[in-house]
Amino acid sequence: MNIAVIGSGGREHSICFKLKQSKHINKIFCIPGNAGTNKVAENINIDILDFKNISNFLKNNNIKVVFVGPEIPLVNGIKDYLEKKSFFVFGPSKAASRLEKSKSFTKKLCKKYKIPTAQYKSFSSMKGVRDYIKNMNTPIVIKADGLASGKGVYICNNKNIAFKKCKEINEGKFKSSRKFVIEEFLSGEEASYFILSDGKNYKFFGTAQDHKRIGEGDTGPNTGGMGAYSPSNIITNKVEEKIKKEIIEPTLKGLKILGCPFVGILYAGLIIKDNQPKLIEYNIRLGDPECQVLMMRLKTDLLKIIIACKKNKLIN
């Protein structure tokens, strides 16, 4: 079997590295890839949003399975496009990808299914923002509603700075959206929880903790990740049961009811305090630093996992 991996980060290098170990794969192509992937796969210089050219390449090279690494092609509907042409895409549909595309969408889902998360309010303009911030305690969390490459979250110790960050987002700092969410600050320790889903069933995939801030000693602004380790020791068996019952399962159920069952890897960013997990945000794919450590720990043939999801046989 030939397989294609979409993306160009350390995440995609580690995915290709793991797929290379499968005895059932003839050739791996990485679109567009990087210097690392070039050692374990063949890099193909096609834009990750050029779905037509990607489709033609897949057809011409007898590729039936595609693993999408980054979120941008997923939220733009690469799964929907390619699966209409009979390719299997390991990743969620455009509709299910709203979990990462829109903070407001996820917050509404949390509210409907009583998923523990921070108190919040969504805004599409600056109307009422100053009054809302005025009544909050600091720190205040400001989040861009759309995709921001891990750089759209601000923890503000000053109300004037919080207002300024809202204004920056609303004036178009991020191309994805001018909307934003204002949240209460949740104290505790952050951790990441990953599951695999075939649209009907799900399986635990791993835990990790990453280093987000750019500076030494956990200082400076957030990044997409400065490194990670796995497993996360703060996710005990007791905490994991709560994560599954109170966060993961209601989310998967909600998406099914909306008509967009989740297929792929779901990444729950959590805050944990006193053995109580709360959802910070969802990613609809593996994080870059987390993926690197998870792939090093994975003992199962990654292709077998992908094919199990394709056949809705993950439970086996």
* Dist. CA 210–CA 192, nearest whole Å: 8
pLDDT score at 223: 74
Measured in whole angstroms, how far is the alpha carbon of residue 182 from the centre of its chain?
A: 20
Q: Which two tokens stand for residue 19?
A: 């797929």
pLDDT score at 316: 81
| pLDDT higher than 80, residue 252 | yes
Look up the CATH architecture of domain 2-90. Answer: 3-Layer(aba) Sandwich (3.40)
Would you kindly state where each structural domain of the chain is located, as residue ranges? 2-90, 119-184, 187-310
- pTM across the whole model: 0.93
**N residues, the chain:** 316
Residues 18-42: pLDDT tens digits? 999 999 999 999 999 999 999 999 9
Instruction: Taking residues 142-156, report their average pLDDT.
Output: 90
pLDDT score at 151: 83
Give the DSSP letter of residue 210.
E
Q: Can you identify the CATH homologous superfamily of domain 119-184?
A: ATP-grasp fold, A domain (3.30.1490.20)
Tell me which residue of 37, 42, 43 sits closest to 18, measured CA to CA: 37
Place of tokens 């987000």: 212
Instruction: Classify domain 187-310 by CATH number.
Output: 3.30.470.20
Element (DSSP H or E) covering residue 42: strand 42-43
Relative to beta strand 140-144, strand 219-222 is unpaired
| pLDDT higher than 80, residue 150 | no
pLDDT score at 226: 81
* Dist. CA 3–CA 192, nearest whole Å: 28
